[in-house]
Amino acid sequence: MISDKMNIFPEKFETYMEQLVPRSGRGTPQIDEAMRYSLFAGGKRLRPMLMAASYEAFSGSLWEDDKTLLAFMTALEMIHTYSLIHDDLPAMDDDDFRRGKKTNHIVFGEDMAILAGDGLLNGAFEVMAQAVQDADARQAQALQAMTYIARTAGVRGMIGGQVIDVTGTGNDEKSLLVMYQKKTGALLAAALTAGAILGGAGRSDQRIMGIVALKAGMAYQIQDDILDVAGNEEETGKPVGSDEKRNQITYVKLKGLDQSRMDADRYLDEAIGALQRIHGQPADLTAIFKSLIGRSK
C-alpha cells in the first residue's frame, strides 16, 4: 500500500505520467520543453498520492492497476503544475525559484511560461476526456470525477483563491481562511474526492473527503507560512522570507508563530478525525497526512 512506499511513489508515478502527457506535435518543440521542465521538476507528488490512497481506501485495489485512475492522477498534477507556473510569474508572486530550480519564466521567458501553463491545463482535460471515453462501464464515475476537478480548479476553487490573493482582499483572518480553502484546499479536495469517486465511494463518503481536504489544506497552507518564516531553503525549495518581502498577509503575521503551529496541528487532527468516519480503510491516508502534511514543528 502507498503508506509503505511514499519515498518511491513520485518516481513510480512519473513513469506512468510520462506516457500520458500529450505532446504538441510538429513545429513547436519549445512548448513541450517548457511544459516538461516544470512538470518533471520533482516534488512529493502529494495530490496524485492522495488520489491514489483515497481510491485504494474505497476500492481495495492497487492504484497502479487502474488506467482511469492513472489518467486522473496525471491530469491533476498537470493542473497543479500549471498553477505553480502562473503563480510564479512577475504579475503574481514574482518568484525566481521553485523546488530549488529556476522558475519557468526565468528559463523560458514570461510569454512561453504563460503558454506552458495554458498547455498543461488544456492537456489535463484532454487526458481526462480520453479517460472518460475509455472508461466503459465506469464512464459515469469518470465524468463525475472530471466535473468535480473542473469545479475545484476553477473560479469557485483554486482560481477564486488566487483572486483573493492578488487583489489583497485576504487581509483578515476570515478572508485569509477562505483564500486558503480555495487556493490550497480545493485541489486537495479534487484529489481525495475524485479518488473516492473512482474507487466507488458513496455520496456521504465523498462529502467527508471534501471536509477532510479543507481541513488538511488549512494545515498545509499554514505550515507553508510557518516554513517561510522558520524553515530553510532546502525545505521550501525557494528563498525563505518571500512573503515578508512582498508584504503579504499570512497566518503567521496575523496569529504569531506559536499560535500558527498549534492551529496547523489542530486542523491536521481534525482532518484525521474526519477520516475515521468513512466507510473505507483510512490508515494509508492518515499516514500520508502525518508524514507529508504534519510538518509544523
pLDDT tens sequence across 278-292: 999 999 999 999 887
Tens-place pLDDT, residues 184-194: 999 999 999 99
DSSP code for 21:
S
**What is residue 5's predicted lDDT score, i.e. its pLDDT?**
74
Tens-place pLDDT, residues 218-253: 999 999 899 888 866 665 555 555 655 566 788 999
Domain spans, the chain = 8-280
CA 173 to the chain's CA centroid: 23
Please count the residues of the chain: 297
Mean pLDDT of the chain: 91
Helix (H) or strand (E) run with residue 170 in it: none
Q: 213 or 235, which is more confident?
A: 213
Task: Give me the mean pLDDT over the 116-138 stretch.
Answer: 96
Write out 210-258 in H/E/C secondary structure. HHHHHHHHHHHHHHHHHHHHHCCHHHHCCCCCHHHHCCCCCHHHHHCHH
Q: Collapsing DSSP states into helix, strand and coil, what is residue 24?
A: coil
293 band by pLDDT with thresholds 50, 70 and 90: confident
**What is residue 248's predicted lDDT score, i.e. its pLDDT?**
76
3 band by pLDDT with thresholds 50, 70 and 90: low
**What is residue 2's predicted lDDT score, i.e. its pLDDT?**
62
* Range name among 49-63, 84-98, 171-185 with the lowest pLDDT average: 171-185
- Beta strand 97-98 with 101-102 is antiparallel
**What is residue 132's predicted lDDT score, i.e. its pLDDT?**
97
Are 45 and 152 contacting, i.e. CB atoms less than 8 angstroms apart? no
Residue entry with cell 486522473: 72
Q: Distance between CA atoms of 81 and 62, rounded to whole angstroms? A: 25
CA distances from 136 to 68, 144, 157, 176 (A): 10, 14, 29, 42
**What is residue 297's predicted lDDT score, i.e. its pLDDT?**
42
**What is residue 246's predicted lDDT score, i.e. its pLDDT?**
61
**What is residue 296's predicted lDDT score, i.e. its pLDDT?**
43
Compute how many other C-beta atoms are within 10 angstroms of the C-beta atom of residue 15.
9
* Range name among 73-87, 92-106, 155-169, 244-258 with the lowest pLDDT average: 244-258
**What is residue 223's predicted lDDT score, i.e. its pLDDT?**
92
Q: Collapsing DSSP states into helix, strand and coil, what is residue 127?
A: helix
CA distances from 61 to 52, 110, 169, 186, 269 (A): 10, 43, 44, 25, 27
Helix (H) or strand (E) run with residue 111 in it: helix 110-134
273 band by pLDDT with thresholds 50, 70 and 90: very high
* Range name among 37-46, 105-114, 222-231 with the lowest pLDDT average: 222-231
**What is residue 233's predicted lDDT score, i.e. its pLDDT?**
60
**What is residue 239's predicted lDDT score, i.e. its pLDDT?**
59
**What is residue 152's predicted lDDT score, i.e. its pLDDT?**
97
Q: Distance between CA atoms of 25 and 269, rounded to whole angstroms? A: 47
Helices 139-153 and 158-167: crossing angle, nearest 10°? 0
Tens-place pLDDT, residues 16-29: 999 999 999 888 99
CATH node for 8-280: 1.10.600.10
CA 145 to the chain's CA centroid: 15
